[in-house]
Amino acid sequence: MTMKSDYSLPFTNTNEDQVVFENPWHSQLFAITVQLSEKGNFSWTEFVTVFGEDLKKESLYTKNLDGSNDYFSCWLNALEKILIEKNISNQNTLILLKEDWTQAYLSTPHGKPVHIKNRNA
């Protein structure tokens, strides 16, 4: 058995070897999901079943999911789907909250903290 030191992987980015989360939203999403599951809102098996289905579906349309943004996009789809299925939220609320955040960013001067008005979820 031998190991080459200067190999390049056609399907990987070796420079990212030690990065746990490539984007802050990946880590937020991860932590939200773990916390929700540990508080009994859904089991981890339940989550990975929905997540796995979404990954499978997505890979039919997107060739070669890279395991980064597209992977966490599927994760996000799965979590939203579960929350809607469990009646923790609904599509409309999620859209409205996203719109609130969008408007908050567009109306907040650069460098100032961005907040949204409290909406009853």
By CB under 8 A, name the one of 16, 57, 85, 91 that touches other proteins.
16
By CB under 8 A, name the one of 2, 61, 87, 92 that touches other proteins.
2
C-alpha 24, offset from chain centre: 10
DSSP string, 23-40: SHHHHHHHHHHHHHHHTT
**Using CA atoms, how far apart are residues 74 and 41, in angstroms rounded to an integer?**
19
Which of residues 35 and 85 has its CB atom nearest to other proteins in the complex?
Answer: 35
Determine, following the binding rule CB under 8 A, whether residue 91 of this chain makes contact with other proteins: no
Determine, following the binding rule CB under 8 A, whether residue 87 of this chain makes contact with other proteins: no
Number of residues that bind other proteins (CB under 8 A): 77
What's the Cα-to-Cα distance from 80 to each of 1, 38, 45, 75, 88, rounded to whole Å?
45, 17, 16, 9, 10
What is the per-residue binding string for other proteins in 38-57, x denoting contact by CB under 8 A? Answer: xx-x--xx--xx-xx--x--
